[in-house]
Amino acid sequence: MAERALYLDYAATTPVDARVAERMRAFLSPDGEFGNPASMQHAYGRVAHDAVEKAREQVASLIGAEAAEIVWTSGATESNNLAIKGVAEAYADRGRHMVTMKTEHKSVVDVCRYLEQQGWRITWLPPQPDGRISTETLAAAINEETVLVSLMLVNNETGVLQDIASIGRLTRERGVLLHVDAAQAVGKMPVDVEHMQTDLLSVSAHKLYGPKGIGALYVRRRPRARLMPQIHGGGHERGMRSGTLPTHQIVGMGEACRIADEAMAKEAERIRALRDRLWQGLSELPEVYRNGSDSHNVAGILNVSFAGVDGEALHAGLSGLAVPLALSSGSACTAASQESSYVLRALGREDELAYASVRFSLGRWTTQDEVDRVITSVQTLVNALRRRSPAWQKDCAGPAPGMGDEHPQYSDAVWRYFTRALAADPSEDEADLVVASDTPGSRARMQLRARIEGGKFVSAEARVYGCVSSLAAGAWLAEYLIGKSPEQLQVTTAEIEQDLQLAPVKRHCALMAEDLLGMISRQARLTVDAAEKVAS
C-alpha cells in the first residue's frame, strides 16, 4: 500500500482536532443533545441553546469581543459576503465607495466586483513588493463617499501580516467601517478586535482545527456597525443571519477556539521554527524566491517560487512522488485555475515565476522529520526538472526523484514517459543535430538533440521546459527516433496523441513533437546527403 502523502496544506484546511470531534459527537445522536437551539419550549432545545451560547463566548474570548457580537455563519466566505454586502445595503445613502486590496481572497474580490456591477466604486490598492499596504496609501484612497475598508489580516497565499491596528486607527478617525478577513489569523496568532479597532471580522472554524461549514462574523456593537441581512427567514442571530443553527458544528468551533486560546503561543513558536527550517533548506537551491515579507508574517505559511521549472510539472511531480506531498499553489478556492496567482503577480512576480510557486503551510501535527523529507523531495524534483530544461545552464546534479507508478490526472502513458524523462541524465555527448520548437499560448519549449550514423539515429534526447505532457512528449520523441532513418519519420500529431493518450487540451504537446520530427528529419537528410557526397 502506498505511503500516505505528507500534508503541508494547513492553510487550505486543518484536520479536526480529536477533542473537537468528541465534543461534536455529543450533539448528534439520539442519546445526545440533538435539539434545535431555537426550541426553547423544552429541555432538548434549551440544552442546545446553552451549548451554542457557550461556544459563542469561546469564539468571542479568542478575539477579545463580547459574546453578543458574534454572528454564526457557514464560514469565512459567507462572513465576508454578509459584511461587505450588508454594509453596502445599510450605508448606501451615505456613500457608494469602498477600498480593498488587489491581493484579497476571492470571496472579497468577487463580492467587490459584484458591487461594481451595482454601481459601487471600488478602489483596488496595490501592495508593496513585500505584500503589505502602507497607511499613507490607504489614507489617500479614503474620501467622503467611503463607507468601508476591507482588508485581510493574514494573506492566505503568502502569510503576509498587515498592520491592522494602524489601519484601524485611521479608519476610526475617518468615520469609515473596517472589515477584516481573519480566517488565516484567528487561532494562530493573537487577535484583539478592540486593539485593532475593527468593526467587522470574519472567522472560519476549519482553519483552526474545527469542522468545515461553520464560521462567524464579529459585528461591533459600540460604536455600532449596521448590516442588512443577506439570508432572510426566522430572524435568527439578531435578524442578521436566519437559519437553524448547526449545534454540533458550533460547539466544535467553540471547542477549537478554546484549545487555540490555550495552545496558540507555544504552538506558533514551534511551527515558526519548522517553517524557518523549511525555508533554509529550500533556499539552498539557486534562484528560489520567497514571496511576501520575511518579517511580517504568520508562523505557518511559506510561499516560494522556483525559477527554471514549469508550475504544472512541479506540482504534478510533487503530488506524484512515491511518497506524495500534499501542497498547494495558493488558495484552495482558485486551485482549479491554470493561471498564475493574481496575488503573486500583484507583488510584482513575473508570470512564469508566479506560476511556479508553491505554498507550504504547516500546522499542529507537522513534524521536523516531515519538514526534512519535504526539503529533500522538493530539492530532488526541482533539480530533475531543471536538468531537462533547454534553458537552465547551472549545475543541478543529483539523484532521480522516486516517483509513484501513476497519477490520477494523467494517462498511464503520459505519466510513464514523464517519469522516464525525470530519471534520465542529460547526455554530455555532442549532438550532430539540434532543433527547437515552442507553441503560441503555451509556456512549453522543447529542444531535440540527436546523432545519426549509417543513415540511422543512434542517440536522441529531448530537453523540455513545460508541463507534464510536454515532458512526456519529449521522452516519447527521443525513444521513437532510435534506430530509424530520416525517411521513416512520418508520424502524425493524431498518432502521437493516441499513443500518449493525451488530453485534448494538451494537443499542443503533440504538435510540438511533430514539428520537431519534421525539422530533424530535414536536417538529418541533409547530413546524410553530405556524408554520401564526401564518401563518393
**pLDDT value, residue 535:** 60
User: Could you give the strand order of the β-sheet that contains 433-438, starting from the edge strand earlier in sequence?
Assistant: 433-438, 445-453, 456-465
What are the tens digits of pLDDT across the range 220-247?
Answer: 999 999 999 999 998 999 989 999 999 9
Bridge-partner residues for 305, per DSSP? 289, 357
**What CA–CA distance (Å, rounded) separates 169 from 514?**
63
Cite the active site residues: 333
Tell me the average pLDDT across 143-167. Answer: 98
What are the tens digits of pLDDT across the range 262-308?
Answer: 999 999 999 999 999 999 999 999 999 999 999 999 999 999 999 99
**pLDDT value, residue 432:** 82
Bridge-partner residues for 152, per DSSP? 181
Helix axes 493-500, 507-535, angle to 10 degrees: 120
Query: Does 190 sit behind a cis peptide bond, omega within 30 degrees of 0 on the bond before it?
Result: no
**pLDDT value, residue 528:** 63
Burial of 130 (0-12, 13-18, 19+ CB in 10 A): middle
Question: Which grid cell sits at 407?
Answer: 497519477
Asked whether residue 1 carries a pLDDT value surpassing 50, the answer given is no
**Residue 336's pLDDT band (cuts 50, 70, 90):** very low
Burial of 212 (0-12, 13-18, 19+ CB in 10 A): middle
Check residue 360 and report its DSSP letter. Answer: E
Tell me the average pLDDT across 383-410. Answer: 94
**What CA–CA distance (Å, rounded) separates 313 from 358?**
12
Spell out the domains of the chain, with CATH numbers in brackets.
6-10+264-388 (3.90.1150.10), 18-261 (3.40.640.10), 413-535 (3.90.1010.10)
